[in-house]
């Protein structure tokens, strides 16, 4: 390591750790300057986290959020050049710290997904008319082999609480959080309508189906898993409706076929509800 | 590599709170400067806004994460994304700071000071060569504000900047407030600093506010101070007209307030030193 590299490693080490001694060769007169850099570091990370996880902070309160954010920054000091990624892994930090309140990590995961969707690659989703045209002459085999490229802003987040109610209740400062467990397993799907990230609560099996398509599964494989989960009659009805809904919502970028090997799709999560709530 | 022609205008930093002003109205500026990293994203609203603003105003890409002083060299992912943004926006120029922000292990997300040594100068010059080569254009580098110096320093900051510009062909972004802040914090003369720079390499000036105290902190959260205005007036008397902008990054006021500050810069630029007292 060069002298410059050693100096920079020692300096950054002293910034990251408040208890670290002054780097070699530094007199006490440099301590006030170092304190300013330490403060700048903590403030910028804290502000980045507060800005990304605004509702999570309202849910747990400022003090608890500050402690969680400080813990996250100590355990996962930033590596990327962009401050946008400082919050990566924060939902997992919340899972670790708020063990009796799973709604905290779920809300943080939702905010992170919205944050990512906001600046995801622009794309032109397939329209309902375009989808109809593309499928007009499909044979049964074509449907079996169909794969979907989903829009790049799409994210799926697990939900054991009604995140729509929770999200809405935390829209303003000093709001009273509305924490209501879901009766059945759900998920939140997040995407961008134009420039605005939105989300909707869906049955967990629908999220699992989206996840399977994102991993390259064929429609045939997803339908087989749906049959195991919902039973044949319900699966047939749901599969078509689900696909039509996704196209209508702009979640499908393009269709493809001829995939050599579709990844295995395990049975999807139990059917929970046919209702879909949206905060769009 | 093509030279950067002098550009004699007055501009502001584009901040989110002023998006609507710039998109929906006519703002009397000659250019806008944006923080490059805020727009080094794949898609969405930030890029759309920048492209629309670019249709109305020349844009400067001003970075905070190049870490030109890193001993380990540059982050190729950052460089590649910056190149992509520059190709997309066609900026007046691309700038960053004479500082370092990261090691190979971690990123501070702060503009950290460099030891002013031959070794650091060699590292900076090698990194600037790489950056300018990758971007296909000369860059501007800004003098930092700092809160400590290093026991191993071998030269003054203006000497470091002078040799850096001479060796790499880069240009200088002279932040008058940073000179003022560092001069106070480290006990040198701000005017000696500016006199020691190769002024023919300066293509832009930044003006900003600071928090006074035993150690002055470069906060960008208030109006430009009287001392900084005086130093600006002295500088442009030597330098002649040069692109100048007001930087505000915190406690951002209505646009009209910043435009009023910019008008003072314009007035001083016309040689009206009495404007400061007014």
The answer to whether the CB atoms of A81 and B37 lie below 8 A apart is yes
Structure confidence by residue, pLDDT tens digits, B137-149: 999 999 999 999 9
Chain B residues in contact with A37 by the CB 8 A cut-off are: 108, 110, 112, 147-148
Interface residue A7 vs chain B (CB under 8 A): yes
Q: If phi over 0 gives left and psi between -120 and 50 gives alpha, with beta otherwise, what is residue A146?
A: beta
Q: Low-confidence residues of chain A, pLDDT below 50?
A: 270-278, 280
The pLDDT, as a whole number, for residue A275 is 35
The pLDDT, as a whole number, for residue A277 is 38
Q: Which helix (H) or strand (E) holds B132?
A: helix B118-135
The answer to whether the CB atoms of A36 and B151 lie below 8 A apart is no
User: Does B4 map to a domain?
Assistant: no
Mutation for B interface: A2, A3, A8, A194, most B CBs within 10 A: A8
Interface residue B187 vs chain A (CB under 8 A): no
Structure confidence by residue, pLDDT tens digits, A213-245: 999 999 999 999 999 999 999 999 999 999 999
ipTM over 0.90: yes
Interface residue B46 vs chain A (CB under 8 A): yes
User: Does B121 map to a domain?
Assistant: yes
Phi and psi (nearest 5°) for B205?
-125, 135
Strands A196-203 and A277-278: antiparallel
Write down how long chain B is: 278
How far is the C-alpha of B246 from the C-alpha of A144, rounded, in Å? 61
A40, closest residue in chain B (CA to CA): B110
Mutation for B interface: A81, A84, A190, A197, most B CBs within 10 A: A81
CATH number of the domain residue B102 falls in: 3.20.20.150
Interface residue A3 vs chain B (CB under 8 A): yes
Identify whether the C-beta of residue B239 lies closer than 8 Å to the C-beta of residue B202. yes
Mutation for A interface: B49, B104, B148, B217, most A CBs within 10 A: B148
Nearest to B107 among A2, A30, A80 (CB): A80
Smallest Cα distance from B171 to chain A, Å:
24
The 10 Å CB-count burial string (b at 16+, else e) for B74-102 is: bbeebbebbbebbeebebbbbbbbbbbbb
Interface residue B250 vs chain A (CB under 8 A): no
The 3-state secondary structure of chain B, one letter per residue:
CCCCCCCCCEEEECCHHHHHHHHHCCCCCCEEEEEHHHHCCCCCHHHHHHHHHHHHCCEEEECCCCCCCCCCCCCHHHHHHHHHHHHHHCCCCEEEECCEEECCCCEEEEEECCCCCHHHHHHHHHHHHHHHHHHCCCEEEECCCCCCCCCCCCCCHHHHHHHHHHHHCCEEEEEHHHHHHHHHHHCCCHHHHHHCCCHHHEEEEEECCCECCCCCECCCCCCCCHHHHHHHHHHHHHHCCCEEEECCCCCCCCHHHHHHHHHHHHHHHCCCHHHCCC
User: Does B122 map to a domain?
Assistant: yes
Alpha-carbon distances of A256 from A216, A248, B16, rounded to whole Å? 10, 18, 40
Q: Which helix (H) or strand (E) holds A181?
A: strand A181-193
3-state secondary structure at position B246: strand
Q: Of B107, B144, B173, nearest to A33 (Cα)?
A: B144
User: Does B2 map to a domain?
Assistant: no
Mutation for A interface: B44, B64, B70, most A CBs within 10 A: B44
Interface residue B18 vs chain A (CB under 8 A): no
Write down how long chain A is: 280
Q: Which helix (H) or strand (E) holds B119?
A: helix B118-135
Structure confidence by residue, pLDDT tens digits, B200-253: 999 999 999 999 999 999 999 999 999 999 999 999 999 998 999 999 999 999
Interface residue B37 vs chain A (CB under 8 A): yes
Expressed as residue numbers, the domain containing B76 is: 10-275
Token code pair at residue A199: 């989300």
Statement: residue B1 has pLDDT above 80: no
Statement: residue B68 has pLDDT above 80: yes
Q: Inter-axis angle of helices B76-89 and B45-56, to 10 degrees?
A: 40
Dihedral angle, C-alpha B221, B223, B229, B232, nearest 10 °: 50
Strands A252-256 and B10-13: unpaired
The single-letter DSSP state of residue B268 is H
User: Computed from CA positions of residues B157, B162, B165, B167, in that sequence, does the dihedral angle turn out positive or negative?
Assistant: negative
Interface residue B240 vs chain A (CB under 8 A): no
B219, closest residue in chain A (CA to CA): A40
3-state secondary structure at position A186: strand
Token code pair at residue A31: 């301590």
User: Does B5 map to a domain?
Assistant: no
Domain ranges of chain A: 1-100, 122-280
Token code pair at residue B182: 């560092």
Token code pair at residue B203: 């293509």
Nearest to A9 among B77, B103, B123 (CB): B103
The single-letter DSSP state of residue A119 is T
User: Does B3 map to a domain?
Assistant: no
User: Does B1 map to a domain?
Assistant: no
| A233-237, B94-98, B186-190: segment of lowest average pLDDT | A233-237
How far is the C-alpha of A112 from the C-alpha of A49, rounded, in Å? 10
Confidence of residue B273 (pLDDT cuts 50, 70, 90): low
Nearest to A119 among B42, B70, B152 (CB): B42
How many domains does chain B contain in total?
A: 1
């Amino acid at each position: 390591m060069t002298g410059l590299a050693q100096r920079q490693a020692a300096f950054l080490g002293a910034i990251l750790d408040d208890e670290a001694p002054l780097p070699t060769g530094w007199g006490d007169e440099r301590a006030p300057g170092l304190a300013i850099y330490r403060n700048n570091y903590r403030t910028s990370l804290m502000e980045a986290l507060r800005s990304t996880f605004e509702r999570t902070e309202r849910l747990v309160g400022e003090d608890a959020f500050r402690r969680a954010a400080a813990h996250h920054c100590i355990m996962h000091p930033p590596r990327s050049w962009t401050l946008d990624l400082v919050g990566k892994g924060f939902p997992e930090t919340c899972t670790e710290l708020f063990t009796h309140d799973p709604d905290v990590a779920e809300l943080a995961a939702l905010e992170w997904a919205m944050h990512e969707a906001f600046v995801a690659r622009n794309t032109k989703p397939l329209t309902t008319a375009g989808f109809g045209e593309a499928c007009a002459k499909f044979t049964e085999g074509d449907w079996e082999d169909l794969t979907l490229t989903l829009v790049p802003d799409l994210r799926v987040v697990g939900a054991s609480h009604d995140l729509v109610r929770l999200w809405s209740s935390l829209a303003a400062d000093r709001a009273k959080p509305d924490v209501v467990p879901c009766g059945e397993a759900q998920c939140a799907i997040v995407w961008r309508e134009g420039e605005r990230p939105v989300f909707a609560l869906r049955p967990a099996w629908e999220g699992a189906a989206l996840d399977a398509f994102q991993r390259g599964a064929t429609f045939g494989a997803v339908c087989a898993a749906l049959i195991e989960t919902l039973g044949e009659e319900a699966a047939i009805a749901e599969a078509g409706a689900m696909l039509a809904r996704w196209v209508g919502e702009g979640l499908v970028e393009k269709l493809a076929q001829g995939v050599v090997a579709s990844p295995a799709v395990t049975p999807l999560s139990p059917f929970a509800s046919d209702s879909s709530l949206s905060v769009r | 590599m093509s030279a950067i022609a002098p550009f004699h205008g007055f501009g502001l930093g584009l901040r989110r709170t002023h998006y609507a002003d710039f998109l929906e109205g006519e703002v009397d500026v000659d250019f806008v400067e944006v923080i490059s990293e805020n727009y080094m994203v794949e898609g969405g609203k930030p890029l759309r806004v920048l492209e629309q603003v670019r249709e109305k105003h020349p844009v400067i890409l001003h970075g905070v994460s190049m870490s030109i002083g890193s001993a380990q060299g540059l982050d190729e992912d950052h460089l590649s994304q910056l190149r992509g943004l520059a190709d997309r926006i066609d900026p007046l120029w691309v700038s960053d700071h004479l500082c370092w922000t990261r090691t190979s292990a971690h990123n501070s997300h702060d503009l950290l000071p460099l030891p002013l040594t031959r070794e650091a100068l060699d590292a900076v010059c090698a990194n600037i060569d790489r950056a300018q080569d990758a971007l296909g254009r000369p860059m501007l580098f800004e003098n930092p504000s700092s809160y400590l110096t290093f026991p191993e320093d071998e030269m003054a900051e203006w000497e470091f900047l002078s040799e850096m510009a001479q060796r790499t062909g880069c240009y200088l972004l002279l932040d008058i407030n940073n000179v003022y802040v560092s001069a106070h914090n480290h006990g040198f003369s701000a005017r000696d600093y500016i006199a020691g720079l190769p002024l023919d390499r300066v293509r832009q000036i930044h003006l900003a506010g600071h928090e006074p105290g035993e150690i002055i902190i470069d906060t960008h959260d208030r109006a430009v101070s009287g001392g900084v205005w005086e130093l600006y007036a002295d500088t442009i008397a030597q330098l002649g007209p040069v692109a100048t902008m007001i930087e505000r990054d915190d406690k951002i006021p209505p646009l009209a307030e910043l435009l009023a500050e910019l008008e003072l810069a314009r007035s001083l630029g016309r040689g009206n030193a009495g404007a400061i007292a007014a």
